[in-house]
């Protein structure tokens, strides 16, 4: 035992010793290690360690055939991972690809590929490159024919070997392995691999898309949108093609998220900067808008966004031409009509602008406020004055009819006046809220709960205290909460979870103790949090 320890100590010391004055290290050290390894083999003929040490030394000396024969002489190797790893590398260098594949397969079945690390630490660079390319190609072959779990797991094993062999330049193998992990449902591990690529290559489009789509399956909207936007700014064509390759539900969700981000970004820009905005300020938004139109040219929302961007840039003629091309000379759609109204206001045709814009608030007050920011500051006051005059005139005429028409007309005209109120102190918010609540009550009595809930929802969103006072004086909290519950249940049954959530929240504002609404909110929250599949 003492003799054996002395020999081992000499072997380690010889391997570490470098004598540049007498001979190159690459020749001197392996030769010395090989000699001492021979002594160790005589002292421990049954042990793998000395044979592995001797084989590694022979490999470094370029005596590949001798190293191969030495490892074969170790006997059966089916469960001896370090020997299998070395035989695989030697056979690959010798050009025997079938044998290499069989040995790598046995190594993977052993479940211990970590034994490759000490081998690769002494392997020549060209052999490491050869091993990486071979394992990467093998993994691609596994994935070509099928996406069954067994094949994907085998591909992951081969890709892991390729990544170990490559060192720092493993982007292609990391990308493929990340996609495999995503297929296996190991999403956080996939994100780790995508992030490893992006750490070295921040503008790697496929890694950005891959990570973004993985965030999509985890329902992480902010992270997904950030990655997809970053990729779009690098190569719009590739990213648009990748979005189109997603399944319908996933494609719709990622487009909706991009649209929401773009709308919010454009609103912030318009609040901070008067029209026209600079091209640099709108660059991100134009990238998103263009990609959305290429993803689905039939969706009117994308075209309306593009028109808004052109208006924000000050290109009203181009905006009008695009609007006319998509929606016709005289659009029927209220949202498109409102954009025509903005263009009429820019031409100082305020009566026509007020008429067109007043059609929108019945559906979307927030969009009206946004569109008014597309009109220069000095043109908003005359627009609102014309609108107020029209409102008074219309109210007098409609007052002679039934109450339904009165509330509808006053609310429609009142909203535009209120939207401009922050410019010249014409505030009619409370009147508008009361109108909505009264009309909502009338609709409930006429068994038109769907339309009624729209009125109550808008009133609660704008001035909840005043709206609840109106409810208490009319239908009562309990009755209205039951209406919100029925509406939410209907949307939930149709899997319109966003609409269901809005009605639930409004119902709880009216009656916070309603147990059925609380239970339904918990169910919707669980379903919204569940992941969706993107491929």
What tokens appear for 489 in the block? 């249940």
pLDDT digits 0-9 by tens, 413-454: 444 544 444 444 534 567 778 888 988 988 888 888 998 999
Q: For residues 103 and 106, what is the distance between their CA atoms, to the nearest angstrom? A: 5
Which two structure tokens, joined as six digits, stand for 351? 């009566």
Phi, psi of 349 (to 5 degrees): -90, 75
Average pLDDT rounded to a whole number, residues 266-277: 90
Q: What's the rounded mean pLDDT across residues 284-307?
A: 95
CB atoms within 10 A of CB 92: 21
Closest alpha carbon to 517 in 502, 529, 528, 527 = 502
pLDDT at 367: 83
* 117 CB-contact burial (10 Å; exposed 0-12 / middle 13-18 / buried 19+): exposed
Question: Does 73 have pLDDT greater than 80?
Answer: no
Which of 66, 86, 87, 76 has the alpha carbon at shortest distance from 46?
A: 76
The pLDDT tens digits for 485-503 are 999 999 999 888 889 999 9
pLDDT of residue 370: 87
Residue 158: how many other CB atoms lie within 10 Å:
26
The token pair that represents 44 in the structure block: 């421990």
Place 37 in a pLDDT band, splitting at 50, 70 and 90.
Answer: low
**Phi, psi dihedral angles at 52 (to 5 degrees):** -65, -45
pLDDT: is 172 or 39 the higher one?
172
The full set of domains in the chain, from first to last, is: 437-535 (1.25.40)
The 8-class DSSP code of residue 358 comes to T
Question: Helix/strand/coil (H, E, C) string of 449-482?
Answer: HHHHHHHHHHHHHHCHHHHHHHHHHCCCHHHHHH
Q: Measure Cα distances from 210 to 1, 109, 183, 439 in Å.
A: 57, 29, 12, 49
Q: How many residues does the chain have?
A: 535
Picking from 310, 374, 370, 301, the residue whose alpha carbon sits closest to that of residue 344 is 374
């Amino acid at each position: 035992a003492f003799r054996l320890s002395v020999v081992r100590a000499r072997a380690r010391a010889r391997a570490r010793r470098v004598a540049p004055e007498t001979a190159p290290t690459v020749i001197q050290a392996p030769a010395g290690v090989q000699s001492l390894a021979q002594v160790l083999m005589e002292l421990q003929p049954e042990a793998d360690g000395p044979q592995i040490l001797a084989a590694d030394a022979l490999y470094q000396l370029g005596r590949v055939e001798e190293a191969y024969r030495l490892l074969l002489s170790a006997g059966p190797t089916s469960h001896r991972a370090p020997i299998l790893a070395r035989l695989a590398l030697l056979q690959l260098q010798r050009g025997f690809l079938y044998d290499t594949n069989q040995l790598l397969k046995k190594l993977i079945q052993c479940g211990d590929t970590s034994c490759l690390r000490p081998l690769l630490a002494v392997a020549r660079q060209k052999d490491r490159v050869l091993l990486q390319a071979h394992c990467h190609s093998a993994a691609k072959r596994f994935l070509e024919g099928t996406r069954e779990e067994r094949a994907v797991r085998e591909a992951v094993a081969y890709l892991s070997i390729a990544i170990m062999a490559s060192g720092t330049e493993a982007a292609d193998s990391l990308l493929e392995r990340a996609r495999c992990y995503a297929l296996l449902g190991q999403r956080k591990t996939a994100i780790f691999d995508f992030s490893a690529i992006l750490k070295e290559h921040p503008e790697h489009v496929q890694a950005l898309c891959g990570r973004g789509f993985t965030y999509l399956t985890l329902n992480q909207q902010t992270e997904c949108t950030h990655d997809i936007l970053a990729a779009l700014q690098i190569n719009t064509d590739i990213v648009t093609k990748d979005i189109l390759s997603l399944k319908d539900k996933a494609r719709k969700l990622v487009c909706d998220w991009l649209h929401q981000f773009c709308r919010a970004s454009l609103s912030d820009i318009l609040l901070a900067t008067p029209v026209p905005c600079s091209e640099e300020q709108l660059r991100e938004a134009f990238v998103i808008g263009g990609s959305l139109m290429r993803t689905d040219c039939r969706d009117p929302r994308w075209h309306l966004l593009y028109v808004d961007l052109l208006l924000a840039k000050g290109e009203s003629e181009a905006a009008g031409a695009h609007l006319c091309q998509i929606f016709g000379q005289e659009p029927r759609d209220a949202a498109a009509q409102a954009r025509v109204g903005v263009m009429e206001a820019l031409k100082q045709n305020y009566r026509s602008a007020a008429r067109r814009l007043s059609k929108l608030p019945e559906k979307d007050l927030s969009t009206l406020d946004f569109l008014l920011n597309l009109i220069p500051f000095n043109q908003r006051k005359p627009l609102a004055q014309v609108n107020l005059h029209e409102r008074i005139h219309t109210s007098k005429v409609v007052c002679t009819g039934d109450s339904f028409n009165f509330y509808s007309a006053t609310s429609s005209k009142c909203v535009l006046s209120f939207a401009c109120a922050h410019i010249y102190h014409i505030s009619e918010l409370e009147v508008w809220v009361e109108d909505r609540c009264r009309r909502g009550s009338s609709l409930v009595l006429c068994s038109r709960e769907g339309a009624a809930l729209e009125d109550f929802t808008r009133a609660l969103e704008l001035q909840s205290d005043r709206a609840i006072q109106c409810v208490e004086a009319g239908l009562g909290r309990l009755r209205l909460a039951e209406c919100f519950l029925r509406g939410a249940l209907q949307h939930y049954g149709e899997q319109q979870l966003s609409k269901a959530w809005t009605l639930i929240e409004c119902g709880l504002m009216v009656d916070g103790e309603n147990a059925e609404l609380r239970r339904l909110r918990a169910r919707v929250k669980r379903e919204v949090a569940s992941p969706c599949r993107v491929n």
